[in-house]
Amino acid sequence: MTGAKKILNVGMIGSGFMGRCHANAFRSYGGLFGSPVTIRLHTLADIDQAQADKNARELGFEHATGDWRAVVEDPEIDIVSITAPNALHEEIALAAIEKGKVVYCEKPLSTTSSSAEKMMLAAEEAGVSTLVGFNFLRNPLIAVCREMIASGELGEIVSFRGRHAENYMCNPDLPHSFRTSTAGGGAVADIGSHIISMARYLLGDITEVSSVNRTVCQSRPLRPDSSERAPVEVDDLGHALVKFSSGVVGSLEANWMATGRTMDLSFEITGTKGALAFSQERMNELHIWEAGKSPGFDGFKKIEAGPDHFPYGHFCPAAGHHLGFNDLKVIEVAQLIDMMLEGEKNFTDFREGYRVQCTVDAIHRSASSGSWEKVSGL
């Protein structure tokens, strides 16, 4: 009875926080978007067969494997969703690209920008469609921001002030992990990348940066439940000045020991005729400054997300009813499918993922050199 709907088979590698989020998004997409395609959760690859079996059952995949190569090589699979540890992204993606799969990779694209560059070049050479999971950009209200900026209704944009602050590393007894690895770890790489991608999405290339970083927690346990501690060699927080190619100047902060902040991915963008203020802490609200009907009636207006902000209406026909974090991933999947059906590239393709990492690199370089550093790779 499902008729002539085209079926797209998804193979997913990894089943942590983001894997579960991807799986939920794939499951939810069809019913919410009334899509012409049917998404089939085809195969889950996990660290071993037992884990894969268990998680496939939970997440609704039809097949399970302990070998990710089985996913990449399965001719039935259309989309390879990579939610494995960052250090594996390159190898998996290159293999998937070689097989011509659409590659949907969690951020960061890889642990180094040179690795990310390799992935980007391979994808572009192979003509393969790619998408990096910068989910916060999928918020319908962020689309509103982008359109308002592009339309010129805010006048010339002159200043940017952004931040991604969370508190998930505040506990000094959290052990080392990929997050604290010198290959790709640290707050700037981990969550700074979110505010960088947001800034780039809204305002274009960041060309130059000056930064200061700090390692607050000087040592952490080597492993969970280990009493042995090893030094932390990555930043816990960083502040950077940024110059955009458009002439906008500003600052951004990344901080994963931001006591009291759970999701302060926030920005204020100032134009000569208007301004925008947004925080992911209240992700269903956008504050837009508007001139008033007469003096004394200027002010920031609180816009609540609603069906006038595409694609909110696919989730709910009534304004003010709130999208949640997981819904952003559903929208990301919808963009992935649109990309496949309509042959257009998504803003956050591998090239964009690479450029975000080049911006992270420049911030790291500047923190070491004490000088302004140009962002490469643009």
HEC secondary structure over 68-135: HHHHHHCCCCCEEEECCCHHHHHHHHHHHHHCCCEEEECCCCCCCHHHHHHHHHHHHHHCCCEEECCH
Binding its own copies by CB under 8 A: which of 8, 11, 12, 63?
63
Q: How far apart are CA 108 and CA 116, in angstroms?
A: 9
* Residue 120 CA from chain centroid, whole number: 16
Q: Please state the closest distance from residue 366 (CB atom) to its own copies, in A.
A: 9
Q: Does 28 bind its own copies (CB under 8 A)?
A: yes
Q: Does 246 bind its own copies (CB under 8 A)?
A: no
Closer residue to its own copies in complex, CB, 117/190: 190
Binding its own copies by CB under 8 A: which of 8, 45, 59, 137?
59
Q: Does 48 bind its own copies (CB under 8 A)?
A: no
Q: How far apart are CA 136 and CA 138, in angstroms?
A: 5
Binding its own copies by CB under 8 A: which of 108, 250, 311, 353?
250
Q: Does 202 bind its own copies (CB under 8 A)?
A: no
Q: How far apart are CA 330 and CA 177, in angstroms?
A: 28
Q: What phi and psi, each to the nearest 5 degrees, are found at residue 217?
A: -95, 105
**β-pair type (206-214, 285-290):** unpaired
Binding its own copies by CB under 8 A: which of 42, 107, 261, 355?
261
Q: How far apart are CA 164 and CA 358, in angstroms?
A: 18
Q: Does 211 bind its own copies (CB under 8 A)?
A: yes
Q: Does 270 bind its own copies (CB under 8 A)?
A: yes
Name the CA radius of gyration of the chain, rounded.
21
HEC secondary structure over 310-343: CCHHHCCCCCCCCCCHHHHHHHHHHHHHHHHHHC
* Residue 154 CA from chain centroid, whole number: 26
Closer residue to its own copies in complex, CB, 63/176: 63
Tokens 């359109």 belong to which residue? 147
Binding its own copies by CB under 8 A: which of 79, 237, 339, 362?
237
Q: Does 60 bind its own copies (CB under 8 A)?
A: yes
Q: Please state the closest distance from residue 73 (CB atom) to its own copies, in A.
A: 19
Number of residues this chain uses to bind its own copies (CB under 8 A): 107
Closer residue to its own copies in complex, CB, 289/347: 289
Q: Please state the closest distance from residue 354 (CB atom) to its own copies, in A.
A: 25
Q: Does 302 bind its own copies (CB under 8 A)?
A: yes
- Give the 3-state secondary structure of residue 23: helix
Query: What is the torsion angle, in degrees rounded to the nearest 10, for the CA atoms of residue 335, residue 337, residue 340 and residue 346?
Result: 10
- Give the 3-state secondary structure of residue 368: helix
Exposed, middle or buried by CB within 10 Å (0-12, 13-18, 19+), for 118?
A: middle
Q: Does 76 bind its own copies (CB under 8 A)?
A: no
Q: Does 58 bind its own copies (CB under 8 A)?
A: yes
Range 112-171, binding its own copies (CB under 8 A): 144, 154-156, 158-159, 161, 163, 165-166, 168, 170
Binding its own copies by CB under 8 A: which of 253, 349, 352, 361?
253
Q: Does 251 bind its own copies (CB under 8 A)?
A: yes
Q: Does 62 bind its own copies (CB under 8 A)?
A: yes
Q: Please state the closest distance from residue 117 (CB atom) to its own copies, in A.
A: 28
Binding its own copies by CB under 8 A: which of 177, 218, 262, 368?
262
Closer residue to its own copies in complex, CB, 236/361: 236
Binding its own copies by CB under 8 A: which of 8, 13, 20, 220?
20
Binding its own copies by CB under 8 A: which of 175, 216, 338, 345?
216
Range 326-355, binding its own copies (CB under 8 A): 326-327
List, in sequence order, every residue forming a beta bridge with 270; answer none if it has no partner: 159, 275
